[in-house]
Structure formats: C-alpha cells, structure tokens
Amino acid sequence: MGCNESKANKNKVQPKNQDDITPKIYLNDHYNSSSNSDIKSTSRTTSELSPRISSSRPSKGSNKPVKPEIEFVGSVVENGRHEQYVDLCEWSPKSDILVTASSDQRVNLWNVQVIHNMNIGELPMSSDEPSNISALTWSDNGKIFVTGSENGIVSAWTSNGKLLQNWTAHNSGGVKCVKINSYHDLILSGSLNEICIYSLKLKKAKLLCWNQSEVTALEWFNKETFLAGEASGIITMDKISTSELIELEEYDQEDFIPESNPIYQCQSHIGGIYKILSHPINREISASCSVDCTIKIWNFQGKKPNGDPITLEGHFGYVTDITWLSTSHKLASVSYDGTVKIWDALKAHCLFTLQEGLGFVQCISATKSGLYLASAGHDGIVYFWNTKTGNLVAKYDGPGRIMTASFNSSNNKIAVTSYGSVTVLELSFHHQQ
C-alpha cells in the first residue's frame, strides 16, 4: 500500500475493533495459562539460586574440549523488590545503573557495578495519586530517565534517583510510551488521542492532537522532529518548535486542542504498532513492528519517505520487538509465533530463523557489536545466539515467564525480569565485544 500526505485522509483504514489492533504485551492475557501464584512459587531467593546457564557446543568429531563462546560468571536473583510482573527494565546507556518498573506502582534504581553487592533503592513516587508505571526510557547520555504512569503523570529523574520534574501530561488516558530527544531536553509522551511535548529546560509543554487512536510507540527523528505509531497502525511524522510551548502552570489538558497538520501521515500497518526504532547511525532509516505480523523499513529522506516502505514478511504472530544489530543494516525480530529472525533489512531477506516453536517470544537484546543476541519470553528461558553463524551458544533457565532481557552498555551483564523477580547475570565472552 502506498502512503500519502496527511491531507489525503479519506482512504485511511480504520480499525473495526480497538481490541483487535491494540498491542497486547502485558500480563495475564489469554495466552498465559499459569496463575500468578503458580509463577510466584517458582521464584528463588539469591541463596537458593544455582547456575542454570549452559553452553551449546557443536560437535566436530573430536574429544578436545571446545571453549564456549559465552561463559557464566555469576548471578543474583532479587525477589520481593516488585510484587507484580516487572514489565519495564532499562539500563543506562553509559553505566551499570538499572531501572525497573512494574504494575505494582514501584520504580527501583539499581547500581550493579558489582552484582553481589548491588545498591538498590525505591524511588519516591507520588503518594497523592499512586498509579501503575506504564512507560520508561533513558536519555542517550545516561543522565536522565523518565517514567510514565497510568494516571497520566510523567516524571523526569536524574541517574541517582533525584526527581527533576513531575507533571500531569495527560488526562485522557494513561501514558503508553515516553522518549527523550538527543539533546536531552524535549520529552515526548503518548496517550489516548494525544501527545505531550515537554521541555526540561524551559519547563513548558504542549499537547498535540492529530492521531486517530491510542499512541503506542514514539521515536525522535532529530532535535525537534519525531515519529509516532498508533494502535490503528498509523505512523505520523511531526515537528515541534520550543517557541510553541507554553508555561507549565498555564498548561491545561482539558482545554480544546485544535487538530494539527503533521508533516506526514500514513496507514503503515493494519494493526497496532509495538515499536519504532531508528537506525543507530543513519536515523533517516527506521523500522516499525506490529500486531499485523510484519516489519516495515522506512527511508525518511527529506523528512518524507523515499518511496513506499520495505515490508519484511515471515512471522505468523505479533512481532513484539525489534533491534538493529550494531551499525549494519541487519535487524533482529521476535514474535508470538515462537520465532527469532535476523534480516537484511534493505534487501527484505531473512538470513536466519534462530528459534522455532519454543513459546511466545517477548523481547530481544543485542550486544554492542551485534554479534550476540538474547531472546526470551513465555517459556522462561533466555537464549543466547551468535548472529553471524545462527548458532545457539548458551541458554539460561529463568524463574518464570520472562518479560524483559537486556544487556548493559558494557555487554558483560544481562538483566532478566519475571514475576516479582529481577535477575542479573554476569557473562564472559570468548569473542571480544
């Protein structure tokens, strides 16, 4: 399907049922046959944990030991820091600071320089309006992280947990996603029927309303231009000038918000969008994944797509997560169909199908070099893959259904979250990362 300017809206495909197209990645969906009590019973304390990481060593007809590509060094499992599924887990891009958040209304800050001597603290969230945490992101300099709540509140924090700003960004619905620009000043938050732009420097904000449904994904294109994905499958590009922002005390979410005219708008997917991710070097190239089982590759030259997007087809379930493999044009994706795939994104060619039929895959994370990839999901196992060979090189049996698995910036640790549990694994790589 070709994509036209926002003014040509008459041919837009509208969802028949919001429930059919909204990404369903959270807890207690119909795919989960285990009760919360069942999952909790599998959790282990730190003292009970024994190493459960193994290496896959292909036989070459020799009895000579083969040094594994990934070796297990140590681990710590922390139970009781959260009381629900830990849906959100983000490492600082510059240090071993980890933030975890959950629907239990808790946000925890972890200093993981030494995993057996971690400094863990709970952030003082607003006691006046306690609410579940629904969104989390870091600035790329690692100095600021932002949380969003289901009561519409967005909070900005320093890396040591000091609150910088707390404001009610949305009244129409909970915060679904947040993003900070590369200048570490402008913050985007998406909700039902609107986007809020906030300046940390100016302490000013503005609401935008041009979307047709819930905003489920955000990505900055450059300093003031951003991309937004919706539950209806629409992708929009828009730009905000700081001169358009108003004083925070005058910011009123209940005021009438005139419909704006975005730079570009397109019915890109026929289902809800989970994620939009720009290429780490060439930010004119972006990828989006959706409940429609596809991935789209966009070339936004001149702030508008250079032709129709490239479509990557091959998954037969919701594509829940994507990641670029280093600075190459290789892209990894995971799906509820139980597969992990590696693509040549520009040639629309699937290079490897790494995993098949091992349960719904929820998340992936790649090392900085792109050589190794971790995938995890409902079967409770973290799989470690060599993206060059397609080989499974190690796996870790977690304490239950895994919601997130994420490498730190140094690639020597990975955080794994489940029901009420946060696990940190320390790894050693045979190949230099």
- pLDDT beyond 60 at 35: no
Decide which of 19 and 81 is more confident: 81
Closest by alpha carbon to 359, among 334, 337, 374?
A: 337
pLDDT of residue 17: 42
Mean pLDDT in residue range 235-246: 90
- pLDDT beyond 60 at 14: no
Sheet with 381-386, edge to edge strand ranges: 53-55, 392-397, 381-386, 372-377, 361-366
- pLDDT beyond 90 at 156: yes
Mean pLDDT for the chain overall: 83
Decide which of 400 and 306 is more confident: 400
- pLDDT digits over 266-321, tens only? 899 999 999 999 999 998 999 999 999 999 999 987 677 777 899 999 999 999 99
Q: Exposure pattern of 118-148 as b/e (b: 16+ CB <10 Å)?
A: beeeebebeeeeebbbbbbbbbbebbbbbbb
> What proportion of the chain, given as a percentage, has pLDDT over 90?
61
Decide which of 384 and 399 is more confident: 384
- pLDDT digits over 176-226, tens only? 999 999 888 999 999 988 899 999 999 999 888 887 889 999 999 988 999
* pTM metric for this prediction: 0.84
Decide which of 315 and 430 is more confident: 315
pLDDT of residue 244: 87
Which of these ranges, 11-15, 66-70, 306-310, 367-371, has the smallest mean pLDDT?
Answer: 11-15
- pLDDT beyond 60 at 154: yes
Dist. CA 211–CA 230, nearest whole Å: 7
CA angle, 230 then 289 then 353, to 5°: 165
Provide the pLDDT confidence category of residue 44 given band limits of 50, 70 and 90: very low
Mean pLDDT in residue range 24-36: 30
Mean pLDDT in residue range 373-397: 94
CA angle, 417 then 413 then 433, to 5°: 135
How is domain 123-313 classified at the CATH fold level?
Answer: Methylamine Dehydrogenase; Chain H (2.130.10)
> What proportion of the chain, given as a percentage, has pLDDT over 70?
80
- pLDDT beyond 80 at 259: no
- pLDDT digits over 69-102, tens only? 999 889 999 998 999 999 999 999 999 999 999 9
pLDDT of residue 226: 94
Give the gyration radius of the chain's Cα atoms.
21
pLDDT of residue 234: 94
Mean pLDDT in residue range 374-387: 94
Mean pLDDT in residue range 112-137: 86
28: number of Cβ within 10 Å: 12
pLDDT of residue 51: 39
pLDDT of residue 36: 30
Sheet with 215-220, edge to edge strand ranges: 215-220, 225-230, 234-239, 264-267
Decide which of 67 and 256 is more confident: 67
Which of these ranges, 2-16, 56-70, 212-226, 245-259, has the smallest mean pLDDT?
Answer: 2-16
pLDDT of residue 24: 34
pLDDT of residue 103: 87
Say which residue the tokens 């041009």 belong to. 210
Sheet with 273-278, edge to edge strand ranges: 273-278, 285-290, 295-299, 310-312
Which of these ranges, 176-180, 317-321, 353-357, 413-417, has the smallest mean pLDDT?
Answer: 353-357
- pLDDT beyond 60 at 336: yes
Mean pLDDT in residue range 222-246: 92
- pLDDT beyond 70 at 48: no
Which of these ranges, 20-24, 229-233, 371-375, has the smallest mean pLDDT?
Answer: 20-24
Do the beta carbons of residue 278 and residue 285 sit within 8 Å? yes
Closest by alpha carbon to 213, among 26, 10, 20, 14?
A: 14
Provide the pLDDT confidence category of residue 432 given band limits of 50, 70 and 90: low
For the chain, the domains span 123-313
Most confidently modeled range among 44-48, 107-111, 262-266, 299-303: 107-111
Dist. CA 380–CA 386, nearest whole Å: 20
Provide the pLDDT confidence category of residue 65 given band limits of 50, 70 and 90: low
